[in-house]
A and B are shown apart, each in its own frame.
Chain A
C-alpha cells in the first residue's frame, strides 16, 4: 500500500502538480455534513488524492492588469489534467474505481458537490486562513486544488500540526490595530486572532462573489434582469450595449471563477511563497 501511495503521488507531481497529499475518507466524514462526503459520490470510497497547483506564475502576481491576471487562470486546465491522469492510472494499474473532482462542480447554485478545501486540509496541503477560509500553503501560497476519490486504500497524510495563518506579521498587526492585511484589503473578510492563532474567521461570500465573478457569464445574467426591468426601450438598449456589457466581454475566460486575488496579493504567507519562486 505504501509503494502504491508513493507511485500515485509521484505521478501527480510528474503530471505537473506542485503539491500532493492523501486524505482518508474516514477523517473527512468527521468534518463534512451528511451528503457531502466522498463516499456519497462513490460508494466504498476509502481515499482521496488531493493535488494543488500554483494558480499563477510569479510574474502574474506582479502585473497590475486585471484582465491579464485572470485570463492566466485559463492555463489552469493542466491542473484538471492531473486529476484525470491520476484517476485513470489508479483504475488501470490497480483496478479501483476512481472519480476526478474539479473546481466548480456544483451541487446546486453555488454549493459544491464536495468541499475541495476540506479535502486539501485533511490531506495536509495547508490550513484555513483568515482570507475567506482559503487553504493556504506555507511553501506555495495560494493553490488551486483538484482531487481524485477512489475506493483504493492508500496511506493517508495528516492535517498540518502548525497553522499556516496567521503569519507573525499579521499577528503583530492585529495586536496593534485589530486588523490584518487581508481584512484591511477586503470587507468580505472578518475575524479575530488570539494567542497568535485564528480565533474566529468570517467570510461574506456573496460580496466576494461579485469580485470573484466579475465579467463572468453569471454576472451578465444578473444584469439581464435589470435590463428587462427597464420600461424604456432606448434605455434597455443602452443597458445592453453600454459599458455594462463588459460583464460578457471575456470570451476566453467566460467560465473562470476566482477573478479577484486582492486578499492574497497582500498576504505575507503568499508573498513569501511568490518570492520563493525567484
Chain B
C-alpha cells in the first residue's frame, strides 16, 4: 500500500497531467490566480482601456456600414503593447473587470428605476416608485 495519503496522490497525479513546470507547484491560492497587488494597481487601468472594457469604433474611409474597431485588443495584443506576458495581462484584466466600486452598482439600480419612471413606454395604475430595482 502506498505511503502517500489519498490527497497527496491526487495532488501528484494532477501535477503530472497539468504539464506545468515544477516552480508552479505548491503555490498559495493567491499566487495561483492573481498577480502581486502593486503590479495589478500599476496596470489595471491601462489594461481596461485597451481591452473590450472600453470599446471604440470609427467609420471606415470607404463608407462601409461596418465600423472599424480602434482599441479592443486581445490579451496577446495588450501584452505585446505594454510589455507584460499574456498570462499576467489576463489575470489583471479578469480581476479589474469586476473591480468597480460598489457605489457604481448601487447607482446602476437607481439609474434604471429613475429612467424607467421618467421615460415610461406604457402606463399602468400601479405605483412602482417604491418597488425594488
Contact = CB atoms under 8 A, between A and B. Distances in A.
B100 A35 contact: no
Interface string B86-100: 000010011001111
Nearest to A262: B115
A2 B91 CA distance: 46
A197 B59 contact: yes
A178 interface: no
A64 interface: yes
Nearest to A59: B122
Contact of A110 (B52, B111, B113, B120): B52
B115 A36 contact: no
Interface in A147-163: 159-163
Contacts of A197: 59, 63
Interface string B4-17: 00000000000000
Contacts of B73: 33
Contact of B100 (A63, A132, A161, A222): A222
A79 to B, nearest CB: 22
B82 interface: no
A36 B73 CA distance: 11
Interface of A is mostly: mixed
Contact of A210 (B51, B65, B105, B113): B105
B41 interface: no
Given A210-B105, A262-B111, A162 B65 contact: yes
A207 B98 contact: no
A222 B98 contact: yes
Interface in A204-243: 204-207, 209-211, 214, 218-219, 221-223, 226
Interface in A5-63: 31, 33-36, 59, 61-63
B104 interface: yes
Contacts of A63: 122, 124
A35 B52 contact: no
Given A109-B90, A200-B56, A210-B108, 10 more contacts: A61-B122, A65-B128, A108-B90, A122-B66, A159-B64, A160-B65, A210-B107, A214-B108, A262-B111, A262-B112
